[in-house]
Structure 1
Amino acid sequence: MNISIIGGGSFGTALAQILSDNGHNVLIRDINKEFVEKININHLHPFFDISIPEGIRATLSLDDVLNFSDIILLCVPTKVMRSVIQEIGCHIKTPKIFVNVSKGIEPETSYLVSQIIEEVLPIEYIKGFVCLSGPSFAEEIMHRKVTLLVSASKDSSDASYIQQLFNNPNYVRVYTSSDMIGVEVCGAVKNAIALISGVCQGLDLGMNARAALLTRSNREIIEIVKAMGGEESTCYGLTGIGDLMLTASSTLSRNFQAGMRIGNGETLESVIENSKNVVEGVRAVKACEEIRIKYNLELQILSMAYKVLYDHLDVKVAVKILLSRELKSE
């Protein structure tokens, strides 16, 4: 089967490997000519310099990738997602199943990727929408280490279809979920928490503090998920606490790395400017603050993170404020 991927970065190319291992033909579209040549000529992952199957091809052409398959994986950062979907809208000719793997919420609108697609694309071109998520570092996938994912969709047949495409008995197991909203929200908000966890690491607050942070932060994720129409149970699964534990505890996480640098005293502007990859957690913190205001939620940790990143509150002062709040029951 032919499958198209838009976005040939670290995760997009890793997913291409799974699909190729499963016997599918994959065409990746990326705007970076160097990435495209590295895939086509050197048969290497653009970031990790790990060999990829020769059946994976890349192109600069959006028309080529849209004509190649009726299944389109969206693997671009959420900050450019709307513009990419608008570009797709100018070229698309037949209905497609869209599979989003980007984890983010659009600031200003508080839209999930599924909502952006529904707003931008004519309904006749949306054959289906699936969110593929879970605790998964791209580099580990490239080394074919065991990874568990969740295929979530409002349409159970679409979720099962994508489950079958990606499931690989050697290293990838895929579950299905009907709670697409919950899966999308968990994936986005955990990036913000991972950033905060990295700050704690940079401040050398210790493992006790990290355990407390992840536990209390998960309660805030639950509040956001419920407010946006998702199910609380999703927060306790692979795309919830599973993804949170992975991303907020490892230096393989770009958000955790960025947080560490902030905790060490580097400015947010410097962190963003000197990061090779997009730090989704920064935008996620802003989106969470807008959601907090919109739904009148109590999100003490995420709100304090917003004050640190956007109001320039000193990190150590923020920690002291959180610890000095009125005592209460858990």
Structure 2
Amino acid sequence: MSRKVCVLVAGSWGTALASVLAENDHTVILWSRNAAQVKEINETHQNSKFLPGITLSDRIVATNSLEEAVTDADAVVMVVPSSGMRGVAGAIRPFLRSDALIIHATKGFEAGTLHTMTQVIAAELPDYDPDRIVCLSGPSHAEEVIRYSPTTVVVAAKDITAAECAQDLFINKSSFRVYTNPDVLGVELGGALKNIIALGAGLSDGLGFGDNAKAALMTRGIAEIARLGVAMGANPLTFAGLAGVGDLIATCTSQHSRNWRAGSLLAQGLTMDEMLAKVGMVVEGVRTTRITKDLAERYEVNMPITAELYSVLFEGKEPKLAVEALMGRVRTHEIEEVATEGLGLLS
């Protein structure tokens, strides 16, 4: 059944998800504040800044009117950078249908409150059932999704019916497979925290340390993610799935990953400002590293990779010295440490 779905905003990931929805024969309204971008999408079916060389479906119509985008929409897909999520969520409230499905696909936290995106949206939409807010995550580079490369993601909501509605909206037989999961917190944490490890992987690759070092970083990284996740109340098995290991692999091993690119550029000697200018898009891992350091302190969780990356990003520590600090940590037993961390993969 064709639905009206609005997607907020017209970045690379929002545009890729809009294309999946259009392929599924939904009518898609893609919102952007940028009038020139709206004009380009409507007149040339291109979004050249974020996805150059791609022709978009004519089922995608862009607008810079939030009211036009949200009014009468059956579903609202929020792909807003974490720093702007609260403002956009509050702004859609007057136009949102009470029975509309809300899905977000943003991987990050809100600075200050340390809230997940689901918590931010729920706070701004107090009349909406928070259990029906759906999180979409998993290994999914926009550059591949837009070209209909086979991709598998997960949608999470406490209300399984809402998750299944989101699954029905996005799933198709040609390229986009969708699983459901009731562990909203675990899915959100996996999607956000893997960006920190991807920054580390980029640093490692930029320093020329090779595959052995990156494999170790990724393996210890997922243990670190799970350690915090379990302390916060997530299901440890979620981190063995698409939103955990799956997303971590994709983000740490691909040059499509802006977080990997950011780490690699920093390893080459660029400053933070130079790196952000060169990437040209939001690097959620930078904000997430700062916020996760605070979460680790709040929950009294040991997160050495996050701590060293924080030192590199915000205290000027040389990347090579950060890696040496990780390698020089006190010796321990892997199986005992995994059991203590609660990853749950062996049970």
Matches within 5 A, 1:24-63: 24-46=26-48, 47-48=50-51, 49-63=53-67
User: Which blocks of at least 5 consecutive residues in structure 2 are unaligned?
Assistant: 335-347
Q: Are 2:177 and 1:149 equivalent residues in the alignment?
A: no
C-alpha displacement at 1:127, in angstroms? 8.3
2:339 counterpart residue number:
none
Contact 1:3 1:68 (8 Å CA) reproduced = no
* TM-score for the superposition, normalised by structure 1: 0.96
1:21 counterpart residue number:
23
Matched to 1:291, the amino acid is L
2:338 counterpart residue number:
none
Aligned CA RMSD, in angstroms, stands at 1.5
Matches within 5 A, 1:79-118: 79-89=83-93, 91-92=95-96, 94-118=98-122
Q: Are 2:165 and 1:161 equivalent residues in the alignment?
A: yes
Taking the aligned partners of 1:284 and 1:233, their CA distance within structure 2 comes to: 22
Pick aligned residue for 2:236 from 232, 236, 242: 232
1:2 counterpart residue number:
4
Taking the aligned partners of 1:280 and 1:79, their CA distance within structure 2 comes to: 9
Contact 1:98 1:126 (8 Å CA) reproduced = no
Q: Secondary structure at the match of 1:123?
A: coil
Q: Secondary structure at the match of 2:132?
A: strand
2:325 counterpart residue number:
321
C-alpha displacement at 1:272, in angstroms? 1.8
User: Which blocks of at least 5 consecutive residues in structure 1 are unaligned?
Assistant: none
Taking the aligned partners of 2:131 and 2:248, their CA distance within structure 1 comes to: 31
2:212 counterpart residue number:
208
The percentage of counterpart residues that share the same residue type is 37
2:287 counterpart residue number:
283
Q: Secondary structure at the match of 2:134?
A: strand
1:308 counterpart residue number:
312
Matched to 2:45, the amino acid is H
2:135 counterpart residue number:
131
C-alpha displacement at 1:115, in angstroms? 0.6
Taking the aligned partners of 1:161 and 1:18, their CA distance within structure 2 comes to: 15
Taking the aligned partners of 2:104 and 2:176, their CA distance within structure 1 comes to: 18
Matched to 1:131, the amino acid is C
Q: Secondary structure at the match of 2:310?
A: helix
* TM-score for the superposition, normalised by structure 2: 0.92
Contact 1:135 1:147 (8 Å CA) reproduced = yes
Pick aligned residue for 1:192 from 185, 193, 196: 196
Cα deviation digits, residues 179-214 of structure 1 (max 9, x gap): 111001100001111111100011111110000000
112-121 or 151-160, which moves further after superposition? 112-121
Matched to 1:251, the amino acid is Q
